[in-house]
Amino acid sequence: MFFPEVFHTDEGVAYLKEPGVVLLYPLNPQFNYDGVRTFLKGFDPKLGFDRYVDDPTRIPAAEQNVKFAGQLCYMSFGRNRTINDQAKQYFDHIKESGHGSVLEHVSFSFLIYGLSRSQTHELVRHRSGVAISQVSQRYVSGSCLRFVERPEFQSDPELHNDFLKRINRTYRTYHELGQKLLERQRSGSLLLSAEQKTGLRKKVNQAARACLTNETEAPIQMTFNARALRHVIEQRASGSAETETRRLGIRLFKTALPVISNLLSDYNIIILEDGTEAVFTKWRKV
Ligand SMILES: Cc1cc2nc3c(=O)[nH]c(=O)nc-3n(C[C@H](O)[C@H](O)[C@H](O)COP(=O)(O)OP(=O)(O)OC[C@H]3O[C@@H](n4cnc5c(N)ncnc54)[C@H](O)[C@@H]3O)c2cc1C
């Protein structure tokens, strides 16, 4: 997981330099071996299904769940089944043959922050196998406003200084604009006040946010099933993804890897000419 540092300008405006990725759920998943044992007991003992749950090699629960789904398709629980010791070959075969639907049986929920609105705008284009909840710029006021500095600005003193000045200015503009809108709301502007009381603050925020730049931070919770996660990593951590997004893609990959190492074992990290990382696989979009 990645917990980036939060920096502040001389005027106290908060900003981050890299994406934070936190695996929220599940943290300690378990597979229901007892339930499977009870299910398998109902078949002819000659089939040898009872050995399935007594496999001496335990693999992570998420992987076991995917493996069970694949093996259920062919009732491969008996003597000729693929044992857990051969899990890597089993999952490689699934990836190679494009039998990716079994990967949809496990999902992972990530908190992603330290990412700009321009990048989350790209991420929310993923629809299939993905759930999204993102900070509302209409509901949340300027008290939580933070910004994200692009990699290109961080090592260039002039661009870095420009960034600091820009976010100071944006922060001030946002608050000044909010104040002016609030005054007009109180003095009866119809566009700003003709609504239920609960909507009034939103009416100010939704107009004030017009001055926020693309480098405004936009915290987001995203849940992906493993098939969708692979697709997102392949698109967002590829060499053709842009640097800020690619850093996120790499971090998603590195956070998920210990939990589903066999499902991602075909991914290799390559170093591009500019020294940044990208993920490469021969089995895209399983
Ligand atoms: C390098 C790069 C550059 C890009 N440039 C642009 C750009 O200039 N302009 C722009 O608008 N977008 C751009 N995009 C966004 C891109 O077009 C996709 O919208 C985004 O990456 C989501 O991926 P996806 O379409 O695979 O959808 P996902 O929701 O991730 O879907 C996964 C897969 O499910 C299937 N699927 C999902 N929904 C449907 C459906 N409705 N019908 C049929 N099959 C479906 C597809 O096979 C799809 O690939 C860019 C993306 C990348 C990575």
What would the pLDDT profile of 120-169 be if each residue is shown by its tens digit? 999 999 999 999 999 999 999 889 999 999 999 999 999 999 999 999 99
Residue 150 is a catalytic residue: no
The pLDDT tens digits along the chain (286 residues) read: 999 999 999 999 999 999 999 999 999 999 999 999 999 999 999 999 988 999 999 999 999 999 999 999 999 999 889 999 999 999 999 999 999 999 999 999 999 999 999 999 999 999 999 999 999 999 998 899 999 999 999 999 999 999 999 999 999 999 999 999 999 999 988 888 876 665 888 889 999 999 999 999 999 999 999 999 999 999 999 999 989 999 999 999 999 999 999 999 999 999 999 899 999 999 999 9
Residues having CB closer than 6 A to ligand 1 are 125-128, 231, 235, 240-241
Our mutation pick for probing the ligand 1 site, out of 101, 121, 128, counting the most ligand atoms within 8 A of Cβ, is: 128
State the distance from the centre of ligand 1 to the C-alpha of 235, rounded, in angstroms.
9
Helix (H, G, I), strand (E, B) or coil at 42: coil
Q: Which atom of ligand 1 is nearest to the CA of 129?
A: 29
CA angle, 241 then 245 then 246, to 5°:
60
**DSSP of 157-206, one letter per residue?**
HHHHHHHHHHHHHHHHHHHHHHHHHHHHHHTT-HHHHSS-GGGHHHHHHH
**Model-level pTM?**
0.94
Q: To 10 degrees, what angle do helices 243-256 and 226-236 make? A: 150
Mean pLDDT, rounded, of the chain: 95
Name residue, tokens 């066999």: 262
Instruction: Please tell me the distance from the alpha carbon of residue 106 to that of residue 129, in angstroms, as a whole number.
Output: 10
Q: Which of 236, 246, 247, 251 is catalytic?
A: 236
Dihedrals φ, ψ of 136, to 5°?
A: -90, 120
CA distances (Å), 267 to each of 73, 129, 220, in order? 26, 20, 25
User: Tell me: the pLDDT tens digits for 70-95?
Assistant: 999 999 999 889 999 999 999 999 99
d(CA 282, CA 286): 10
Write out the two tokens for 234: 């392949």
Kindly give the distance from the C-alpha atom of residue 125 to the centroid of ligand 1, in angstroms, as a whole number: 7
CA 229/CA 14 separation, integer angstroms: 30
